[in-house]
Amino acid sequence: MSGNGGTADGGARPTGGAGGAGPGGTDGGIGTGGVGGAIGGDAGTSAGCNVSPVNPNATKQAKNLLCYIYSQYGNHVLSGQQETSWSNPDGDIGWYSDNGMKAPAILGGDYLYPNGTSARAIAYWNAGGITMIRYHMGAPPSSDTYENAKGSANIDNVVRDGTTENISFRSKLDYAAGELKKLQDANVAVIWAPFHEVQPNGWFWWAKGSGAQFVSLWKYMFDYFTETKGLNNVIWLLPFSGSPNSTYYPGSKFLDLSGPDTYDTNQPFTALFGSAKSVIGTTMPIPLHETGLIPSPSAMFPGAAPWVLFNIWAGYQSDGTHNDVENIKKVYADAHTVTRDEVPGLK
């Protein structure tokens, strides 16, 4: 492969084996070689793959998942769909079959909604898919509501042991860890995307402080989940907003994946891919963890914006406003697009 550069923060993530393809170099060009798009068989297992999750105790399933994601970077894009957790969570995936399409490779969930999120994630994995979960956590010490996620918190106190905010934060982490543990006990790996849309002056409480405060928040959760809670089934995704910012980047020792989101319409969002790469580096696969408009693989590849996955936001696929059904069908039929039935065994 070409352009196997280090990460923006100086780290170097080994690639090769199953993960032998990827966008390389500073020119955004696509590397060649590696699996080159093999789907199925052993392509998704960690055998022969020297990519390792940041958690040294990662489960076999987590290693397989990360290796598989690396193997697809630069040559394929994993399809994804966020569920409408608050009203009809099964409706979004059902919409694809109702319209004659295969199921997305990835189901997106939200732990703001406790009822059934983990159960649906486990079921999706057992059906051959991948799950990606975020969490609209309310600003400590307030409860978890969408409105409270847009509140404000004293982040210094949130990470200072014993404060009211910290006790609340730990309670929320305990809840989320308990849900992720359900997945681990079921041998399910998960792409965990907490504190999403981080940027200076963002909408959510975790994005209303400084970069240093956010990094302390991220590391606190990372340490608590990996060391205290023994969660080893997690692939850590740092989900930027449409303005990736290096001061909010904890570094590659604390995450496995990172990427932005956008609701703009200038797909495939080439400039955004470039700005993300300038922060995240040229080696780590870059996901489009949320999008309003589905990007077209024919425009993404080979080098314009080779997102490793896209995740259409809840309801945006079917509301008749943000996407055209025929265009989604076209994208799902594209040879670059991975659907659930094409995900190899990761168990």
Partner 1 sequence: MSRALKSLVALSLVVVAASYISWRRAQVTISAIQSKRAHAHGSELRPAADEIVKAEVQAASPSKPSPVSQRKSFLDEPALMATLRRLESKDASISLRLAREGNARFPDGADAAERAWIVVKSLDTLRRFHEGRDEAELMVSRYPGTSWALDVERHTLIYPLDQPSREEMQAADPVAH
Taking the C-alpha atoms of residue 290 and residue 305, their distance in angstroms, rounded to an integer, is 15
Q: How far is the CB of 114 from partner 1 (least distance, A)?
A: 5
Q: Which is nearer to partner 1, 1 or 193 (CB)?
A: 193
Cβ contact 60:88 at 8 Å: no
* Cα 268 off chain centre by: 18
Q: Which is nearer to partner 1, 52 or 145 (CB)?
A: 145
Q: What is the 3 state secondary structure string of 160-199?
A: CCCCHHHHHHHHHHHHHHHHHHHHHHCCCCEEECCCCCEC
Taking the C-alpha atoms of residue 205 and residue 196, their distance in angstroms, rounded to an integer, is 10
Q: Which is nearer to partner 1, 17 or 116 (CB)?
A: 116
Helix (H) or strand (E) holding 104: none
Within 247-340, residue ranges assigned H as helices are 270-280, 297-300, 325-333
Residue type at 142?
Answer: S
Q: How far is the CB of 136 from partner 1 (least distance, A)?
A: 8
Q: How far is the CB of 181 from partner 1 (least distance, A)?
A: 12
Q: Which is nearer to partner 1, 87 or 246 (CB)?
A: 87
Q: How far is the CB of 321 from partner 1 (least distance, A)?
A: 10
Q: How far is the CB of 52 from partner 1 (least distance, A)?
A: 33
Q: Which is nearer to partner 1, 167 or 335 (CB)?
A: 167
Neighbours of 86 (CB within 10 A): 11
Q: Which of 150, 144, 127 lies closest to 345 in space, CA to CA?
A: 127
Q: Which is nearer to partner 1, 272 or 331 (CB)?
A: 272
Q: How far is the CB of 312 from partner 1 (least distance, A)?
A: 12
Taking the C-alpha atoms of residue 231 and residue 188, their distance in angstroms, rounded to an integer, is 11
Q: Name the residues that contact partner 1, by CB under 8 A.
A: 86-87, 111-116, 138, 143-148, 150-152, 175, 200-201, 203, 208, 263-265, 292, 313-315
Token pair listed for 143? 């409860």
